[in-house]
Amino acid sequence: SQQGEEDPQALSIQEGENATMNCSYKTSINNLQWYRQNSGRGLVHLILIRSNEREKHSGRLRVTLDTSKKSSSLLITASRAADTASYFCATFRSGNTPLVFGKGTRLSVIA
Amino acid sequence: IAGITQAPTSQILAAGRRMTLRCTQDMRHNAMYWYRQDLGLGLRLIHYSNTAGTTGKGEVPDGYSVSRANTDDFPLTLASAVPSQTSVYFCASSDGQGNEAFFGQGTRLTVV
């Protein structure tokens, strides 16, 4: 079964607001990654956080990781209409294991 | 710089026919992956390869086969297509060390 589960499945906010998406996973991991997918396109990597990290920033993105709860959150601050997309978390366990994705959160930012 | 290329972009296929989806990368990545994406189900791993000459089964491997004869190419074959294989298929590659994966633009396959 899929490793990650995003929450909520869909989120609609006004431009300028912050968007928070959550990801829960089942087993121990080496790192957790967030990806973005624009409609009809391939996924694009946003940010990677390792299991020994608790928080990471990249521009308007802030990712947290709580390994004790097996959960992560992605915060997009001051959202823009161009942030409208689906967002996926993916987990990497170790060694030769493949990257496993969740079901994604569809974010709609209304101008 | 191409990155990772999939072909065809879209295809309508009669049930029972054989079909090979092509995937090529020019980043010399060791690991390659095939996912299918269906509404409400996210991305599910079909098969993967950690290095040329090796392959592994993912979450939904039935009805699909792969080969990895060299580093660059990772074709996905449907031996006898069925309507439930209607989906968008994504190929991806990574260095195999758990770093970011790069995705192709996808192949939209409809089996009728």
| Rounded distance between C-alpha atoms, residue A55 and residue A57, angstroms | 7
Specify the residue for token string 């990545």.
B29
Q: Which residues of B touch A33 (CB under 8 A)?
A: 100-101
Q: Give the model's confidence band at B39: pLDDT under 50 very low, under 70 low, under 90 confident, else very high.
A: confident
Q: Give the model's confidence band at B103: pLDDT under 50 very low, under 70 low, under 90 confident, else very high.
A: very high
| Rounded distance between C-alpha atoms, residue A101 and residue B3, angstroms | 21
* Residue A21: pLDDT over 80: yes
> Taking residues B52-67, what's their average pLDDT?
96
- Which of B56, B57, B78, B54 minimizes the C-alpha distance to B68? B54
B105 contacts B25 by C-beta, under 8 angstroms? no
The C-alpha R_g of chain B, in whole angstroms, comes to: 13
**Chain B residues within 8 A (CB-CB) of chain A?**
31, 33, 35, 40-45, 48, 50, 56, 58-59, 90, 92, 94, 96, 98-106
Considering only alpha carbons, which residue of chain B is nearest residue A33? Answer: B100
Between chains, do A42 and B106 touch, taking CB under 8 Å as contact?
yes
SS3 B67: coil
Q: How many CA atoms lie within 13 A of B28 on its CB side?
A: 0
| Rounded distance between C-alpha atoms, residue A36 and residue A85, angstroms | 7
Q: Which residues of B touch A100 (CB under 8 A)?
A: 45, 59
Span A42-101, pLDDT tens digits: 999 999 999 999 999 999 999 999 999 999 999 999 999 999 999 999 999 987 788 889
Q: Give the model's confidence band at B36: pLDDT under 50 very low, under 70 low, under 90 confident, else very high.
A: very high
Task: Kindly give, in sequence order, each residue whose CB lies less than 8 Å from that of residue B83, ignoring residues fewer than 6 positions away.
Answer: B15, B111, B112
What tokens were used for A67?
């390994």
Q: How do A105-110 and B102-103 pair as beta strands?
A: unpaired
Q: Give the model's confidence band at A2: pLDDT under 50 very low, under 70 low, under 90 confident, else very high.
A: low
To the nearest whole Å, the CA of A95 is away from the closest chain B CA by 7
User: How does DSSP classify residue A6?
Assistant: E
